[in-house]
Chain A
Amino acid sequence: MERAQISREAKRTTAKGIIFEIERWSLSDGPGTRTVVFLKGCPLSCWWCANPESQSDRVQIGVFTGKCIDCDRCAEACDKGLALPAVKGGFSGNGPCRACNRCVSACPSKARRRMGEFVSASEVIKEIKKDSIFYRKSGGGVTFSGGEPFRQPEFLAELLATCKKAGIHTAVETCGLFNWETAADCIDLIDFVMFDLKHMDDRHHRRLTGASNSLVLENAEKMARAGVDMVIRIPIIPSINDSEENIRATAGFVREKLDTALGIEPLPYHRLGLTKYAALGLDYKLSDISSPDDDHIQAICHLITEERVRCFSPGSRYQKESNQSQLTRIK
């Protein structure tokens, strides 16, 4: 009995992973009410990324000028002489810092924030289960986002398996750039996937995200064949990837190659991540672009629909209708 408990405990803590946030009550990351677990580390570095801390797979220290009371406690605490109060320029969080956390604990005003944490799957599961009642009543569940969740396949597989066992609906948001073979265990455990297609033109994709889209497109096709309920998402960055040509190309790809996908959801660009760039000492390459308005998004939806692909406008539900299987092929 005792041994059984120990081994169960041991099993529960086998997989560890790095995450940077758990967000409860999300209505926009899959069906129903969801808890979103953000896994850290991403192969892409998109110009518009709203979560710059999601890119590195290391723990980082963010510094927030607005909260700094300039007490110098961080500088005193840092044995490498790297930390400075945020108002004095803070510290970029890269390079020789090992994120030992001394400056963060020393900061009385929470102006220094640890971004990223190594956690066990069981710790994450405990948090996920808190909102079970909200999932049950809404047809919601958990969504693993990132970063790129498939970059931590063992951790993700354990999270997914435990959630499935607990009857929690599982979803994954992916940028598409991952090794299909190592992710295969996970894919069997996923109820719903949101798959990003950021640009169909490989030259642009390389320039804007730092990587080619060929593996992304290949994985999208495999995902479609795997039969997972899938929504294709396009982040709509005005003047960057929202040309009629790119939208039509994306929709055409979905129609021709991803015939099991439920449809396309345009995601309006926003700049809410700006302060996090500053906190990490990173440059933001798109600072003069504003969010697309409703008309703009409607126009995109119109193009997608013209391509005979279903479009989920922002705020609409991913309701499966009786004729769902034909929805992407309204011919």
Chain B
Amino acid sequence: MLENASIANRPVQPAQSTAASSNQETGNDRTRRLKNAYLQSRPTICMERAAAFTRSFKKTEGQARCLRLAKAFRHACETITINIFDDELVVGTHGSGRRMGALVPEISWKWLNEELDTIETRPRDPYYISPEHRKLFLEEIVPYWKTRSLEEKALAQFPAETLKTGVNTDILDTEMKWRSHVGEITPDFQDIVFPKGFRKIRDEAREKLEELKYTEIEDLDKIEYYQSSIEACEGIMTLGRRYAEKAEAMAKVQTDPQRRQELAAIGANCRRVPAESPRNFWEAAQMCWFVMMSCFLSENCPAFNVGRFDMFMNPFFQDDLETKTITGEFAQEIINCLWIKIAELIWLLPKSGSRYYAGYSGFTNLSVGGRNFDGSDAVNEISYMAVEATSRVGLPQPSLSVIIHPDTPEDFLLACCRLARQGIGFPAFHNDRVGVQMMMYAGLRPDDAREWTLLGCVVPHHRKVYEWTDAGGYNMAAALEWTLNRGRSRITGEQMGLPTKDPREFSSFNELKETFFTQVRHILNHCAISTIIEQRLHRQMVPRPFLSLLVEGCMESGSDLVNGGARYNIGPGWIVVGAADCANGLAAIRKNVFEEKNITMDQLLKALDDDFVGHEEIHEMLKNSPKFGNDDDYVDRLQVEMTDFNDRGLSEYTDILGNPFHSAIMGLTYNIPTGSVVGALPCGRKATTPLAEGCSPHPGTDTSGPTASMRSEAKVNHELHPGGTLLNLKLLPSAIEGQRGLAGMANLIRSYFELGGYHCQFNVISQETLRDAQANPDDYRDLVIRVAGYCAIFTELSPEVQNEVIRRTSHESL
């Protein structure tokens, strides 16, 4: 029905622009209608998944944990609402409607119990919850999971000092892995999902099972593992069947002939996938979606990644073009529909967590570009169409990442820059060379490493890897505060760090710096303690039967991801926050106290105690000291020392699978809550204000233009941080207009990457626009803005975060 040879054979032109595309095409009408429906839907808490898990758990008491979770997953697949919305070409929801946050009570439920009356009105990321779901929660879910959640066990097992430093302190954010599930998986579409289909995967598990004996002690765990695999396969196949039935039933009563035909086709697609291998592009897209939404059904949490979308979808597209069964425009429409489905995936978080990860984002990353396994360039027509889809759809998810290498076609890079110039914050640009180095540092073979992909916001990842990329985040600025206050918080006066010597007695700058590193080490110790306890609990309580199907190695070895079944296991990553504030602060002390002796340590401490009030001259002197981000080695070298230390300090610890911890310097909106607990700092930052985000300069202090920012940033040894690093640059539209601006932007990227930078992203927007959006949110519902490495709808952010975005330095070249 969609045959049109002339269109089918027309290559998709990257230069076809985008925002101004005509709306006469039905594809764009459909996209617009679906997007409107999306924007009108309200983020809602859904208890369907929690209820299914609870009911199933009640019936499986006494069985192996992995089997119980697999049966619960299957039960959820059998019972959740089946939704097919108007206009959709790709169907499926993981809850009762669009944009559903599903509670995962086996991890944590207490927070919702406490926030039940306030979650609809909380400042960041409010959620609606219906009376029925509220009732379900209070009457069925809470009574069962009381004393049974992972959260309760973790808090009971943490040593007292870890509790004191790492729970609700904003010094260590340990809650990432006891309040939320793990996520952080990229389904292996290339080698497992597409070539096999879940029926074949199930049959493989059955065969494995036949070889095992209940009489062999080593076999028992494997028997349970394969049984859980079979249950999980049955679960997702059931979903497909239920969607097929629904679509067929809807087709029967549909009066519009075009939609009837579409529904029939959707029904046929769901008859085929996910049980069997997809045979064409549309089926492949539907299968991709079934797997992504099932990831969210199994664990509502962030960073389930689509992976190298262009790489695994292009063969289907080329085959369909060959047989003239698809047109470029229809394929584009399917991709747009898939994008909107991905945007529906949201991550339900407590109030505390929403401060760190503002914007509802599910952090569903999707990567294009890069290189193939054999090293050749991987850009194909789907790469351009993915860029086009983000341009046309313009929603904060999927998190579109492009991987750039020296041989990346210039027109593809320019197409990406054109998208970035639209001001929606995408794509995120990543350097292939450094990504590969990071993966190799984490233990991958070079050829595997070439097929790396992005996870969450900026984390280098691979589909054959199991890891906790975000075990938590810690506040490095607290260590500087402790160094200058004998381990006490300057805000509360409480002893939080080590009681080191009186800073007035430091005889040299180096002594001060060493003391600072001692305080950092103290924090890192608690990072490691919390992670190891959490990992042990995850292994005992929340194996991952569905997700283990998607990663190579688990089926082969008969062990779940939590037991190290994946082909590659990488140690946990900890995110450092405020590195630049420490580098700036240490530089200011070195310059003003030790070298130029403009002030004494005593004067400095008094000024910090008073938050600079009454010490305006000292404050100005500190603010005007060298700042990271201006290509000034005096301070940039300290930033390198801070970040290098993060790698060395963390890699001293190994996790429960024997892999070293590693460093991440990204940030999300971590810099705001962490800043709120730190007093005045010697860099001139006032008490409780935000810290620097990720690896970026402190907001407003990189005043020497983007090339200087990039040169500073490139001094950091990015390959030492397999948890990712980020650089956000905000550019005013006037700086990058015309062909010159576009070429200038591409040049920034190529040059930064040649210098050894890892990631950069552009916030192209005017401050006026942002202020106007603050004042008139209704006029800017679709204004997508990047907050520290990811995108969110600007008007849905809290004023605090909005202000932060506005305050960031703009690089204007006039």
A interface residues with partner B (beta carbon < 8 Å): 23-28, 32-33, 69, 71, 73, 108-110, 130-131, 133-134, 136-138, 140, 270, 272, 313-317
Contact = CB atoms under 8 A, between A and B. Distances in A.
Contact of A317 (B617, B743, B748, B754): B743
Contacts of B711: 130-131
Contacts of A25: 705-708, 744, 748, 811, 813
Contacts of B744: 25, 27, 33, 138
Interface string B739-767: 11101100110110011000000000000
B41 interface: no
B800 interface: no
A18 B750 CA distance: 34
B611 interface: no
A136 B755 CA distance: 12
Interface of B: 616-617, 620-621, 624, 631, 704-708, 711, 735-741, 743-744, 747-748, 750-751, 754-755, 811, 813-814
| A25, A28, A313, A314 — most chain B CB neighbours (10 Å) | A25
A135 B288 CA distance: 43
A146 to B, nearest CB: 16
Contact of A130 (B631, B741, B743): B631
B449 to A, nearest CB: 25
B529 to A, nearest CB: 43
B620 A315 contact: no
Contacts of B708: 24-25, 130
Interface of A is mostly: loop
A110 B617 CA distance: 11
A137 B813 contact: no
B616 A28 contact: no
B751 A133 contact: yes
Contacts of A270: 814
30 contacts: A23-B813, A24-B705, A25-B707, A25-B708, A25-B813, A26-B813, A27-B736, A27-B741, A28-B740, A28-B814, A33-B707, A33-B744, A71-B617, A108-B621, A109-B620, A130-B708, A131-B707, A133-B751, A134-B707, A134-B747, A134-B748, A134-B751, A138-B743, A138-B744, A138-B747, A314-B737, A314-B738, A315-B737, A315-B738, A315-B741
A109 B201 CA distance: 68
A69 B624 contact: no
Contacts of A137: 747, 750-751, 754
- Shortest beta-carbon contacts, A-B, top 8: A315-B738, A138-B747, A108-B620, A27-B744, A108-B617, A25-B705, A25-B707, A134-B751
A27 B417 CA distance: 15
Nearest to B706: A25
Given A24-B705, A24-B707, A138-B747, A316 B813 contact: no
Nearest to A140: B747
A24 B704 contact: yes
Nearest to B811: A25
B703 to A, nearest CB: 11
B159 to A, nearest CB: 47
A26 B813 CA distance: 6
A52 to B, nearest CB: 16
A315 B814 CA distance: 11
Nearest to A73: B617
A26 B737 CA distance: 12
Nearest to B631: A130
Nearest to A317: B739
Contacts of B706: 25
Contacts of B620: 69, 108-110
| B631, B737, B743 — most chain A CB neighbours (10 Å) | B743
A130 B708 CA distance: 8
Contacts of B631: 130
Nearest to B736: A27
A133 B757 CA distance: 13
Nearest to A27: B744
B501 to A, nearest CB: 30
B555 to A, nearest CB: 46
B248 to A, nearest CB: 54
Contacts of B704: 24
A315 B739 contact: yes
A270 B734 CA distance: 13
A134 B755 CA distance: 10
Given A24-B704, A315-B741, A133 B814 contact: no
A192 to B, nearest CB: 14
Nearest to B618: A108
A137 B743 CA distance: 10
A130 B736 CA distance: 22
Nearest to A318: B740
A316 B737 CA distance: 9
Nearest to B753: A137
Contacts of B811: 25
Given A32-B747, A137-B747, A137-B754, A316 B707 contact: no
B740 A316 contact: yes
A272 B812 CA distance: 12
A71 B705 CA distance: 31
A28 B741 CA distance: 9
Given A32-B743, A138-B743, A317-B739, 10 more contacts: A25-B748, A27-B740, A28-B740, A28-B813, A110-B624, A133-B751, A314-B738, A315-B738, A315-B739, A316-B739
B742 to A, nearest CB: 9
A28 B743 CA distance: 12
Contacts of B754: 133, 137
A68 B754 CA distance: 42
A25 B738 CA distance: 16
Contacts of B707: 24-25, 33, 130-131, 134
A315 B617 CA distance: 43
Contacts of B737: 314-315
Nearest to A313: B738
Contacts of A136: 751
Nearest to B619: A108
A23 B814 CA distance: 10
Contacts of A131: 707, 711
A283 B751 CA distance: 42
B813 A27 contact: yes
Nearest to B812: A272
B754 to A, nearest CB: 6
A32 B743 CA distance: 8
A33 B751 CA distance: 11
A90 to B, nearest CB: 18
Nearest to B710: A134
B616 A133 contact: no
Contacts of B743: 27, 32, 138, 317
B633 to A, nearest CB: 11
A317 B708 CA distance: 23
| A27, A110, A133 — most chain B CB neighbours (10 Å) | A27
B429 to A, nearest CB: 14
| B621, B747, B754, B811 — most chain A CB neighbours (10 Å) | B747
B813 to A, nearest CB: 6
A137 B410 CA distance: 12
Contacts of B705: 23-25
A73 B706 CA distance: 34
| A313, A314, A315 — most chain B CB neighbours (10 Å) | A315
A315 B735 CA distance: 9
Contacts of B813: 23, 25-28
| B704, B737, B751 — most chain A CB neighbours (10 Å) | B751
B740 A317 contact: yes
Nearest to B747: A138
A79 B735 CA distance: 43
A69 B748 contact: no
A316 B747 contact: no
A314 B738 CA distance: 7
B794 to A, nearest CB: 26
A316 B750 contact: no
A131 B736 CA distance: 18
Contacts of B739: 315-317
